[in-house]
């Protein structure tokens, strides 16, 4: 994208210029991807020092509003942390393969507010434990069965809320955070918004490669965020061998904050594995958003004593706790054997849809990544052109730029609602598009 023809920030100080740009983003005068005017042009137009403008641009970069400060120009990030930011959405009338959401038809029915107290019964007030006893017991049993210590537990409002709280508990602005590339767009945006420096690490079907993680950590980092299964861009998932290799690498860096974001849990389609055993600072997050529904806003956070203590201490100064009503709903669902059977069938359904799509694409010689979760990554050289061509044919997919930092381009496809019969039609359309343009990145 280009700089809007009439756009010029206002102000005399770095703070005023940064506020002007932020306001322009918030009100739509600058859109994601738009490039800001060159530092010297702004300085000349406003009659101020270039160093003042450069300081404003650095502040915008620090806050995650812009990216690419330097000779390559400064542009608005794809999802700047100002204004109301809508989630990925498909235009009306198109087939939605863009969101990364679960199939709403495969979410279990919620209990009818089981935790509402009867008339005259005491209600939960301040000062009570932040984790509902029943939820804590069920979560601990599941974690311990998977070899993850449940001695210290917190409940947070979703996996990304937990990631933010753990990073905020240990890191300072400017610290380096290892992230998967391509990876979860929300995590990338959060790291930028918190003024941390992302360190992108590539991966394969089994997730981040140990040698690449070792190289990144060798250059210095204070934290690492990893997805053991259902990776949000590629569908990668660790096996026991990969988890052991990553554990060996992570163990060489005492004091490193390690976060495992196990957001899909029982519908990921592969068994749980972990790499955190015996580490100093760690957190494992298990959200119910993909399995029971995102509106519950519940995730369990297990971690070392200091991390969980810091998370709960900071939580107490803000939201205080996650509603007991929501925690009780999750506990009731977890305790019901029928829910476990339902989720096993859901996981099998997602796996069948993934396999049908990959098989249909393979018949055209097109490789789609993923062995778990709800999404696949298809390498293409012209991700914008391929996505636009698919959209013109009624298929909405996500351009890879939303999920990558240094990784090669591609498109991300969410197959959670894609019936096997539809997979053939999608594969046929994508094949025709790729034959018409140099769209595949082999």
Q: What are phi and psi of 2, to 5 degrees?
A: -110, 170
Q: What is the pLDDT of residues 369-385, one digit of tens each?
A: 999 999 999 999 999 99
CATH top-level class for 95-101+339-436? alpha beta
pLDDT of residue 440: 45
Which CATH code is given to the segment(s) 14-76? 1.10.10.10
pLDDT of residue 63: 83
Q: Decide whether 14-76 matches 95-101+339-436 in CATH topology.
A: no
pTM score: 0.86
Q: Coil, strand or helix: which one is 57?
A: helix
Give the pair of three-digit tokens for residue 200.
């992108």
CA-wise closest residue to 60 among 28, 8, 16, 5: 16
Segments of the chain scoring below 70 in pLDDT: 1-5, 69-72, 83-88, 113-122, 437-442
Q: What are phi and psi of 333, to 5 degrees?
A: -65, -45
How far apart (Å, rounded) are the C-alpha atoms in residues 281 and 19? Answer: 37
How far apart (Å, rounded) are the C-alpha atoms in residues 442 and 424? Answer: 22
Q: What is the pLDDT of residues 324-374, one digit of tens each?
A: 999 999 999 999 999 999 999 999 999 999 999 999 999 999 999 999 999
Sequence ranges of the domains in the chain: 14-76, 95-101+339-436, 118-335
Residue 438: partners with Cβ closer than 8 Å, 6 or more residues away: 381, 382
> Are the C-beta atoms of 261 and 163 separated by less than 8 Å?
yes
Strand segments, DSSP code E, in 236-315 are: 257-262, 281-287, 299-303
377-397 in b/e form (b: 16+ CB < 10 A) is bbbbbbbebbbebbbeeebbb
How far apart (Å, rounded) are the C-alpha atoms in residues 433 and 158? Answer: 38
CATH top-level class for 118-335? alpha beta
């Amino acid at each position: 994208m280009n700089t809007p023809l009439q756009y010029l920030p206002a102000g005399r100080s770095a703070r005023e210029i940064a506020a002007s740009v932020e306001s322009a983003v918030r009100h739509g005068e600058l859109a994601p991807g738009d490039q800001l005017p060159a530092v010297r042009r702004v300085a000349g137009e406003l009659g101020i020092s270039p160093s003042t403008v450069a300081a404003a641009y650095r502040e915008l970069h620090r806050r995650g509003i812009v990216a690419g400060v330097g000779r390559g120009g400064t542009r608005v990030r794809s999802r700047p942390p100002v204004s109301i930011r809508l989630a990925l959405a498909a235009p009306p009338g198109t087939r939605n393969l863009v969101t990364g959401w679960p199939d709403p038809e495969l979410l279990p029915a919620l209990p009818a507010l089981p935790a509402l107290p009867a008339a005259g019964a005491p209600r939960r007030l301040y000062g009570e434990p932040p984790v509902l006893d029943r939820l804590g017991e069920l979560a601990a049993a599941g974690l311990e069965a998977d070899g993850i210590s449940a001695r210290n537990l917190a409940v947070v409002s979703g996996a990304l809320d937990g990631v933010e709280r753990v990073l905020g508990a240990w890191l300072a602005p400017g610290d380096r955070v290892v992230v998967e590339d391509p990876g979860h767009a929300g995590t990338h945006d959060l790291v930028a918004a918190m003024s941390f420096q992302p360190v992108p690490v590539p991966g394969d079907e089994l997730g981040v490669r140990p040698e690449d993680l070792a190289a990144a950590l060798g250059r210095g980092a204070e934290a690492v965020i990893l997805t053991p299964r259902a990776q949000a861009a590629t569908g990668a998932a660790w096996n026991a061998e990969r988890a052991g290799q990553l554990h060996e690498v992570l163990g060489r860096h005492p004091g490193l904050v390690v976060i495992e974001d196990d957001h899909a849990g029982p519908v990921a389609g592969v068994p749980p594995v972990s790499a955190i055993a015996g580490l100093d600072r760690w957190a494992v997050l298990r959200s119910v958003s993909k399995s029971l529904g995102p509106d519950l806003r519940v995730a369990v956070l297990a971690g070392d004593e200091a991390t969980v203590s810091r998370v709960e201490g900071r939580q107490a100064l803000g939201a205080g706790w996650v509603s007991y009503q929501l925690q009780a709903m999750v506990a009731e669902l977890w305790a019901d054997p029928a829910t476990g059977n339902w989720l096993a069938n859901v996981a099998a359904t997602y796996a069948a849809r993934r396999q049908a799509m990959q098989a249909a694409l393979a018949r055209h010689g097109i490789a789609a990544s993923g062995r778990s979760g709800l999404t696949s990554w298809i390498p293409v050289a012209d991700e914008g052109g391929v996505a636009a061509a698919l959209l013109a044919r009624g298929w909405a997919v996500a351009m890879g730029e939303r999920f990558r930092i240094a990784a090669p381009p591609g498109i991300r496809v969410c197959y959670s609602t894609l019936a096997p019969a539809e997979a053939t039609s999608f594969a046929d359309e994508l094949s025709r598009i790729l034959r018409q343009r140099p769209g595949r990145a082999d």
